[in-house]
């Protein structure tokens, strides 16, 4: 078995700070109805061997962020501004050719729906081998052996025969494993997993998440895990960014976010999920209303239309002033630190147990 760590993966001096940093990222789509501000000033950092969880509801901009990192957005109607630095290399202004060289080699993606993400026309083995041939200049035979090795690694039984199967001959869990094999075939430094287990059953989901975790420990890959499932986050992520309406509203370690969240939206998310250990007769505490349209996001704090604490802040601040997200641990909210703590301890925490 060839080793999965590459010789050139030694940290170079310029990436000593963070392996991936995203600074003030803006992604906007021009549509017939106007400009959609899908990502609106997002910043985060990620180190090697760590997992960053991005949580948020549909339309909060979490998938778009990652398509922008990979450069997979449609350049004709998309404007990307800001800074994405991967291992010392700036990506927002990079040419399509540079990105093409990076995609699959340095950064790879695991998509949500493995049936649509895999081509029905090619065998699974060929699809896994393709990036390996392209980036490493391997021959067809070498690449096929590599594909077999990867299939074995992700736990596909009889990889020698299954390598020639088509995606429809695989079950859902196996297809997702094949996707993981495809993403990891060139030992990328960054893997973006966009809802990798949403389409799977719980028992299979647990297998896949464990597999990702174990492979990460072996290879030291950095992972961005996009999900709406806080349970998945609790199990896999080291750091978490909570997104709402294209902005990061809270950032912290997984323990910070799940144990002592500060933003009212994070409180709402935690109050919305039933827990296996919670009291059953207490109704859930959902967030009223629905997410805002990104064509015309509300002024000030985007969450103020659904927030129960605008009166506590007082005045018009929530409606007019946009709260800033401090660097590091923190939340973008006008409540003072003491107010956040008091409200959480008095009103929110009792409901979560």
Where does this chain bind another protein (CB under 8 A)? 57-58, 152-157, 171-174, 177, 201-207, 209-211, 214-215, 217-218, 228-235, 254-255, 258-259, 268-278, 280, 283-288, 290-291
Give me the least distance between CB of 161 and another protein, in Å please: 16
Residue number with CB closer to another protein (27 or 215): 215
The CA distance from 178 to 169, in Å, is 12
Q: How far is CA 165 from CA 123, 124, 125, 147, in A?
A: 5, 6, 7, 12
Residue number with CB closer to another protein (89 or 253): 253
Give me the least distance between CB of 321 and another protein, in Å please: 24
Residue number with CB closer to another protein (98 or 260): 260
Residue number with CB closer to another protein (92 or 205): 205
The CA distance from 279 to 325, in Å, is 34
Give me the least distance between CB of 244 and another protein, in Å please: 10
What phi, psi does 162 have (nearest 5°)?
A: -70, -20
**Residue 179 · residue 118 · CB < 8 Å:** yes
Give me the least distance between CB of 113 and another protein, in Å please: 14
Give me the least distance between CB of 291 and another protein, in Å please: 7
Residue number with CB closer to another protein (82 or 271): 271
Which H, E and C letters describe the chain, residue by residue?
A: CCCCCCHHHCCCHHHCCCCEEEEEEEEEEEECCEEEEEEEEEEEEECCCCEEEEECCCCCCHHHHHHHHHCCCCCCCEEEEEEEEECCEECCCCCHHHHHHHECCCEEEECCCHHHHCCCCCCHHHHHHHHHHHHHCCCHHHHHHHHHHHHHHCCCCCHHHHCCCCHHHCCHHHHHHHHHHHHHCCCCCEEEEECCCCCCCHHHHHHHHHHHHHHHHHHCCEEEEEECCHHHHHHHCCEEEEEECCEEEEEEEHHHHHHCCCCHHHHHHHHHCCCCCCCCCCCCCCCCCCCCCCCCCCCCCCCCCCCCCHHHHCCCHHHHCCCCCCCCCEECCCCCHHHHHHHHHHHHHHHHC
Give me the least distance between CB of 254 and another protein, in Å please: 5
Residue number with CB closer to another protein (133 or 151): 151
Residue number with CB closer to another protein (123 or 205): 205
Residue number with CB closer to another protein (143 or 154): 154
Give me the least distance between CB of 347 and another protein, in Å please: 17
Residue number with CB closer to another protein (19 or 303): 303
Give me the least distance between CB of 180 and another protein, in Å please: 10
Q: What angle do CA 251, 256, 258 make, to 5 degrees?
A: 100
Give me the least distance between CB of 12 and another protein, in Å please: 26
């Amino acid at each position: 078995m060839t080793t999965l760590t590459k010789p050139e993966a030694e940290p170079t001096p310029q990436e000593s700070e963070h392996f991936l940093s995203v600074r003030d990222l803006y992604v906007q789509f021009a549509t017939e109805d106007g400009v959609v501000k899908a990502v609106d000033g997002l910043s985060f950092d990620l180190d090697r061997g760590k997992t960053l969880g991005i949580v948020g509801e549909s339309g909060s901009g979490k998938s778009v962020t990652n398509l922008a990192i990979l450069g997979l957005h449609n350049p004709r109607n998309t404007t990307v501004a800001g800074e994405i630095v991967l291992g010392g290399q700036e990506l927002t202004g990079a040419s399509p050719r540079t990105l093409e060289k990076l995609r699959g080699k340095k950064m790879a993606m695991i998509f949500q729906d493995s049936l649509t993400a895999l081509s029905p026309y090619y065998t699974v083995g060929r699809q896994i081998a393709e990036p390996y041939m392209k980036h490493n200049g391997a021959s067809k035979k070498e690449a096929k052996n590599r594909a077999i090795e990867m299939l074995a690694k992700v736990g596909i039984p009889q990889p020698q025969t299954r390598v020639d199967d088509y995606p429809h001959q695989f079950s859902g869990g196996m297809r997702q494993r094949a996707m993981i094999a495809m993403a990891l075939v060139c030992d990328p430094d960054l893997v973006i997993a966009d809802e990798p287990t949403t389409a799977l059953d719980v028992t299979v989901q647990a297998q896949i998440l464990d597999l990702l975790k174990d492979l990460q420990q072996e290879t030291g890959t950095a992972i961005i895990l996009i999900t709406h499932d806080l349970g998945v986050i609790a199990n896999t992520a080291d750091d978490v960014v909570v997104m709402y309406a294209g902005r990061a509203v809270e950032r912290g370690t997984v323990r910070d976010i799940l144990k002592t969240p500060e933003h009212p939206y994070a409180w709402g998310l935690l109050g919305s999920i039933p827990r296996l250990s919670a009291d059953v007769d207490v109704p859930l505490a959902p967030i009223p209303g629905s997410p805002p349209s990104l064509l015309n996001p509300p002024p000030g704090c985007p969450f103020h239309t659904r927030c129960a604490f605008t009166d506590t802040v007082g005045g018009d601040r929530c409606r007019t002033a946009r709260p800033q997200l401090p660097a590091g641990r923190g939340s973008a909210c006008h409540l003072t630190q003491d107010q956040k703590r008091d409200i959480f301890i008095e009103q929110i925490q009792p409901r979560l147990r």
